[in-house]
């Protein structure tokens, strides 16, 4: 077929697999699960993605592309470094609140890295590096503009930022309470913004 459907079957498969991975990781779903949801047969999935490895590698690669596109768009639309961080955190806050995608695919897969096919592991690692580098650049710029005050190097602070966001996703899931994500990440932002002078003592949400 010459395409035409705005959402092709292979897109449906990828979207379904993504949400299944977000729920239970690489070994937490099967082709049968996808077939049930998408409404096709197992064999048809193999037509689009010969092996599970192909499916997940493609899925993560696409996820990374979307992340890169999202960041690029953010860089264009929002110039203020602190606002960029706010936007990034707010994006996840919304995803977690409406349960549409309550976890980062790569963060979840990273937790099971030892049992992942190597090709997938490499994609996952690449996402971490990308995110870390972007956050580093944002923090660096915020520092140079005197808007953010860091207590250690931009790189180290970026790693801490990323780790805290991932940990906040985990806690929100563990407690079954989306609000905990905002509680944790809110402090992150306040802490970075607070450091403008060293005068009055704000109280964080």
List interacting residues with DNA (CB under 7 A). Answer: 1-2, 8-10, 29-33, 39-44, 46-48, 50-53
x/- track of binding to its own copies for residues 12-31 (CB under 8 A): -----------xxxxxx---
Structure-block tokens of residue 167: 């940990």
41 binds, among DNA, its own copies, none (CB under 5 to 8 A by kind): DNA
Say whether residue 118 binds its own copies (CB under 8 A): no
Q: Closer to its own copies at the Cβ: 64 or 166?
A: 166
Does residue 65 contact residue 176 with C-beta atoms inside 8 Å?
A: no
31 binds, among DNA, its own copies, none (CB under 5 to 8 A by kind): DNA
Percent of the chain that is helix, strand, coil (3-state, to 5): 75, 0, 25
Rg (CA), the chain: 19
Say whether residue 144 binds its own copies (CB under 8 A): no
* Eight-class DSSP state of 81: H
Say whether residue 165 binds its own copies (CB under 8 A): yes
Does residue 131 contact residue 161 with C-beta atoms inside 8 Å?
A: no
In sequence order, which residues have a C-beta less than 8 Å from that of residue 130 and are 6 or more positions away? 64, 67, 68
- At closest approach, how far in Å is the CB of 41 from DNA? 4
User: Segment contacting its own copies (CB under 8 A): 64-72, 77-85, 109-117, 134-142?
Assistant: 109-117
Alpha-carbon torsion angle 20, 21, 27, 29, nearest 10: 10
User: Segment contacting its own copies (CB under 8 A): 1-9, 48-56, 74-82, 108-116?
Assistant: 108-116
Q: Would you tell me how many other CB atoms lie within 10 Å of the CB of residue 75?
A: 13
Closest by Cα among 178, 88, 7 to 170: 178
8 binds, among DNA, its own copies, none (CB under 5 to 8 A by kind): DNA
Say whether residue 159 binds its own copies (CB under 8 A): yes
138 binds, among its own copies, DNA, none (CB under 5 to 8 A by kind): none
Q: Closer to its own copies at the Cβ: 38 or 160?
A: 160
d(CA 156, CA 197): 22
Q: Closer to DNA at the Cβ: 29 or 63?
A: 29
């Amino acid at each position: 077929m010459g395409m035409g459907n705005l959402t092709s079957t292979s897109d449906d498969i990828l979207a379904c697999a993504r949400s299944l991975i977000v729920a239970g990781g690489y070994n937490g779903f099967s082709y049968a699960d996808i077939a049930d949801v998408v409404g096709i047969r197992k064999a048809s999935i193999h037509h689009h993605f010969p092996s599970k490895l192909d499916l997940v590698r493609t899925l993560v690669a696409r996820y990374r592309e979307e992340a890169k596109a999202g960041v690029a768009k953010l860089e264009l639309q929002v110039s203020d470094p602190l606002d960029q961080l706010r936007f990034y955190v707010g994006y996840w806050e919304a995803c977690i609140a409406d349960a549409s995608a309550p976890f980062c695919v790569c963060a979840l897969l990273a937790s099971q890295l030892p049992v992942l096919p190597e090709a997938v592991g490499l994609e996952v690692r690449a996402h971490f590096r990308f995110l870390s580098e972007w956050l580093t650049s944002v923090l660096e710029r915020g520092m140079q503009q005197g808007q953010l005050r860091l207590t250690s190097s931009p790189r180290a602070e970026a790693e801490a930022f990323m780790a805290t966001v991932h940990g906040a996703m985990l806690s929100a899931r563990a407690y079954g309470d989306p609000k905990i994500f905002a509680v944790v990440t809110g402090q992150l932002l306040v802490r970075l913004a607070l450091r403008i002078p060293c005068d009055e003592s704000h109280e964080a949400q």
